[in-house]
Amino acid sequence: MAKSQVSMTVNGKKVEQLVEPRTLLIHFLREQLMLTGQHIGCDTSHCGACTVDLDGKSVKSCTIFAVQANGAEIRTIEGMANSDGTLHALQEGFREMHGLQCGFCTPGMIMRAYRLLQENPSPSEEEIRFGISGNLCRCTGYQNIVKAIQFAAAKLKGVPYQEAAE
C-alpha cells in the first residue's frame, strides 16, 4: 500500500515522515520517532498507557492512525520537562508523592493529568479520580497518583501543597 506523507509537531518540533496508512500513532511515535515514553499496555483502548496530548485533547494513541494526526500538535512525556531540564510539576508530583511503583502507566497518567489540569486547574479529589478514569494502574491503588496530581495542581498555582486529613 502506498505510503502517505504526514507532518506534525511533536513536542514542539516539526516532523515529516512517510507512513503506511495503517500505522497507529503509538507505533509511529515509538518506532519511527523513537519516542518510547508512551507505552503500549492493553492495545485495546482501555488502559491509557499510550495517552498523548493531541491538539488539546487526551487521546489513546493506540486507537488513532498516524495519518489522522496529520497536521496535529502532539505532546508526549518526552516534551514535559521544562526547557532548563527541571521537571514539570506533574513529574515532580509523581516523584514526591510516590505516584508510581513499576512506572509503566506513569507517562500516560501524566499526559492525561496534564490536560485535566489545563481544563480544570483546581480539581477536587473526585474530579481527579473521574478525570483519570481512562488510565489503569495495577500497582498503586491510585491514592498516591491522586496526591501527585494535587501536588502538581498546587505547585502550578504557586500555593503550598497541603495533604488532606485522612
Partner 1 sequence: MIPGAFAYHRPSSIEEAVRLLSKLGEDARVIAGGHSLIPMMKLRLASPTNLIDLGNIANLKGIREDGAEIVIGATTTQHEMIRSDLLARKIPILRETSLLIADPQVRYVGTLGGNIANGDPGNDMPAVMICLGATYEAKGKNERRMAAREFYQGAYFTALEPGEIVTAIRIPVPSAGHGYAYEKLKRKVGDYATAAAAVVLTISGGRVTSCSIGLTNVAETPLWAEEAAKIVTGSTLDAATVKKAVASAEAVTSPASDGRGPAQYRTKMAGVMLARALARARERAGA
Interacting residue ranges for partner 1, rule: CB under 8 A: 1-2, 4, 20-22, 24, 27, 43-46, 48, 51, 57-60, 63-65, 67-68, 70, 112, 116, 130-134
Could you identify the residue written with the cell 502507566?
105
Q: Closer CB to partner 1, residue 61 or residue 91?
A: 61
Angle 147-148-152 (CA atoms, 0-180°, nearest 5)? 115
Q: How far is the CB of 1 from partner 1 (least distance, A)?
A: 4
CB atoms closer than 10 angstroms to residue 165: 4
Q: How far is the CB of 122 from partner 1 (least distance, A)?
A: 18
Q: How far is the CB of 54 from partner 1 (least distance, A)?
A: 8
| Pairwise CA distance, residues 69 & 24, whole Å | 10
Strands 4-10 and 73-75: parallel
| Pairwise CA distance, residues 28 & 45, whole Å | 17
Q: How far is the CB of 4 from partner 1 (least distance, A)?
A: 6
Q: Closer CB to partner 1, residue 33 or residue 50?
A: 50
Q: Closer CB to partner 1, residue 60 or residue 88?
A: 60
Q: Closer CB to partner 1, residue 88 or residue 115?
A: 115
| Pairwise CA distance, residues 57 & 161, whole Å | 27
